[in-house]
Structure 1
Amino acid sequence: MPSSNATPDASPPLAGAAALSVNALSAPLVERLVDAAARLGVAITHTQGGTVLVDAGVAAAGSIDAGVLIARICMGGLGRVAMRPSLEAAPLWPSMIEVRTSAPVLACLGSQYAGWSLSATKEQTGGKKFFSLGSGPARALSVKEPLFAELGYRDAHDRGVLVLEVDRLPPQVVIDKVLHDCGLAPDRLTLVITPTHSVAGTVQVVARVVEVALHKTHVLGVDLGEVVEGSGSAPLPPPAPDGIQAMGRTNDAILYGGRVHLTVRHDAVAKQLAAELPASNSRDYGRPFADIFTSFNYDFYQIDPALFAPAQVWVSSLESGATYRGGALDAALLQAQWSGQS
């Protein structure tokens, strides 16, 4: 149930962000991805209409650098993403993804969140049915999700970019839908394809560690206007060739290895989030995500929504200057899964 900190009569949290265009801010990053395709290991093709397709892991090899850049694109140019070696004496994992943003609600929920459902039947594709969730700046052009009404934000730009987490290039019928819903000319759209089992796909999913915290904050009913800064880190696992295992590894990286630091306006909110936000509040917590997913017959909607959260959160209050902490990392579970030990 939403908490008492929900403020339904307050202004939408992004009502004052109309001057910021996540598609305009991400455009230089998209240009860099295309221009450096050979170095980044991605492949560029175009539809007959001129829509740019960036293969970052279907037939192309992709790379960690490509994944980092794609994660920044997903955040609408409002986030910093980097890979670094672990500097701890007893590292959780050798490689970590770090994320930070001073516009956490717009970057994470207004852009990065994978909330746009795109599908096509086998009759429409002339072969195999297609399904993918779309994330990134073009979501804010189409505003097909109720979330945008809550945020009070809609982008207006003549270019758009959408990231698809799927293992094949989208059919023309899906491309046409995106163009129509975004109001774009074909040559003004870029679609980036990042399968979860690819190197770039693994990076861009793990880089959602702060976004997962913002989404859980929203689910808890906390006024999103409370959150003014966000940063976080999570371990970068090696990709798994099996799709279910790859999805499991990226989720485990956040659920058991993700650490997020939020800065909020009020002390009561900081205390609440420290207590309620960590993944350990879920009834399904404690097992590898692939096992949980399989046990529910591959149905995401059967999994407790409270599970989708970082392992550990630190929440600082501007009101009191205090920082509260909740949850804990589980290095043993991650290393047992990723190192092949039982």
Structure 2
Amino acid sequence: MSGSLNISGRTTESVNALAGALVDRLVAGAAKYRIAVERGSLGELLIDAGAKVPGGIEAGLLLTEICMGGLGSVTLSHAPAAPKWPFWLTVTSADPVVACLASQYAGWSLSHEKFFALGSGPGRAQARAEKLFDELSYRDLADRVTIVLESGSPPPKEVVEKVAARSGVTPDKVAFIYAPTQSLAGGVQVVGRVLEVALHKAHELHFPLDDIIDGVATAPLSPPHPDFVQAMGRTNDAIIYAGRAHLFVKGSAAAAKELAEKLPSMTSRDYGRPFAEIFKAYKGDFYKIDGSLFSPAEALVTAVETGETFRAGEVNLALLDKSFGG
């Protein structure tokens, strides 16, 4: 098993191998994590983390680390500055470009007939099925792969075959972990993308990815909701209105300052309403929403070569309360 990236300072470890060890821990602790594990018709490993089982916050924390290819740490801690919603996720990664963009980003569209889900996780780095990988040198080569799906059902065999073929492995070497956004684990892993959305926004702003050397981000644990739109809204609002990200970058102070100013969600024309309201206003067309909305509320960027830190944006607890029902 090996992973390679011809960029100085980036990981050469296999994200699928690292995540595989976490998947093994999840499976071994199935009762503890309140998940269900089975083999599908093609031998694929299917892990239900919240569709027909309770799952939970602990499962969600581990699921988020799996999404990051084992290159991130996700913890839950108390945040006294937000008394109504005191428990926040903190996400760190010493290699955020690989962890967040090559692994965690939900960028692989997987569908067959009525089934549709966006695939995230380290399997993306081996399949390299998205245009994004034209700009990422990281390529994984492992004997087993893992894909995480925001879905209430397991993938059909046609999707299993597609993932296996694209990854160069047999179906029995593919693990699918699925959980709907309405579930506890599903909600945790979406909020756990707070660092990833900062990286994705930086990429959209054409900031040199090679210059991002470290990152940490935090966002509040969102309460679940049985309605999909409301659940999706709350997880997004946790990041949009209360997420905070701190990136450490090489290069000039001017470039760091510009990145900080452009990163926050308040730069979006759609900022100012709970996400569920925005989604409904666009009649459920996700792609009509201004893409710059998907970013943390507050950004800090430190230019490590000058020691200067720049910040922009702010946490909006009033809108968070409106979204969370507080």
Q: Does 1:44 align with 2:37?
A: yes
3-state SS in 1 of match to 2:119: strand
The runs of at least 4 aligned residues of structure 1 exceeding 3 Å deviation read: none
In 1: Cα distance, 2:84 partner to 2:198 partner: 20
Q: TM-score, normalised by structure 1?
A: 0.91
Q: Does 1:69 align with 2:55?
A: no
Q: Is the CA contact 2:233–2:323 (under 8 Å) kept in the aligned structure 1? A: no
Instruction: Describe the superposition over 1:269-306 as per-residue Cα deviations: whole angstroms up to 9, x where unpaired.
Output: 21011110000000000000010011011111111111
Q: Is the CA contact 1:80–1:99 (under 8 Å) kept in the aligned structure 2? A: yes
Instruction: Describe the superposition over 1:113-138 as per-residue Cα deviations: whole angstroms up to 9, x where unpaired.
Output: 000000011xxxxxxx0100000000
Residue in 2 aligned with 1:84?
77
3-state SS in 2 of match to 1:151: coil
Gaps of 5+ in 1: 1-12, 122-128
Instruction: Describe the superposition over 1:176-214 as per-residue Cα deviations: whole angstroms up to 9, x where unpaired.
Output: 111111111122111000110000000000000000000
Residue in 2 aligned with 1:4?
none
Instruction: Describe the superposition over 1:12-31 as per-residue Cα deviations: whole angstroms up to 9, x where unpaired.
Output: x9533473211011111010
Residue in 1 aligned with 2:242?
257
3-state SS in 2 of match to 1:96: strand
- Within-5 A mapping of 1:84-233: 84-88=77-81, 90-91=82-83, 93-121=85-113, 129-233=114-218
Instruction: Describe the superposition over 1:208-245 as per-residue Cα deviations: whole angstroms up to 9, x where unpaired.
Output: 00000000000001101111111010001111100000
In 2: Cα distance, 1:327 partner to 1:307 partner: 12
3-state SS in 1 of match to 2:141: coil
Q: Is the CA contact 2:41–2:157 (under 8 Å) kept in the aligned structure 1? A: no
3-state SS in 2 of match to 1:155: strand
Query: How many aligned residue pairs are there?
Result: 320
Q: Does 1:56 align with 2:56?
A: no
**Partner amino acid for 1:67?**
G
Q: Does 1:335 align with 2:326?
A: no
Q: TM-score, normalised by structure 2?
A: 0.95
3-state SS in 2 of match to 1:97: strand
Residue in 2 aligned with 1:23?
16
Q: Is the CA contact 1:86–1:92 (under 8 Å) kept in the aligned structure 2? A: no
Identity, in percent, stands at: 51
**Partner amino acid for 1:152?**
S
Q: Does 1:243 align with 2:221?
A: no
Structure 1 residues 254 and 117: CA distance shift in structure 2, 3 A = same
In 2: Cα distance, 1:31 partner to 1:240 partner: 29
Cα deviation, residue 92, structure 1: 6.1
Q: Is the CA contact 2:248–2:302 (under 8 Å) kept in the aligned structure 1? A: yes
Q: Report the aligned-residue RMSD.
A: 1.3
Instruction: Describe the superposition over 1:134-178 as per-residue Cα deviations: whole angstroms up to 9, x where unpaired.
Output: 000000111001111201121101110000001112111111111
In 2: Cα distance, 1:300 partner to 1:78 partner: 29
Gaps of 5+ in 2: none
In 2: Cα distance, 1:47 partner to 1:157 partner: 21
Q: Point out the more displaced range, 54-63 or 17-26.
A: 17-26
In 2: Cα distance, 1:327 partner to 1:48 partner: 49
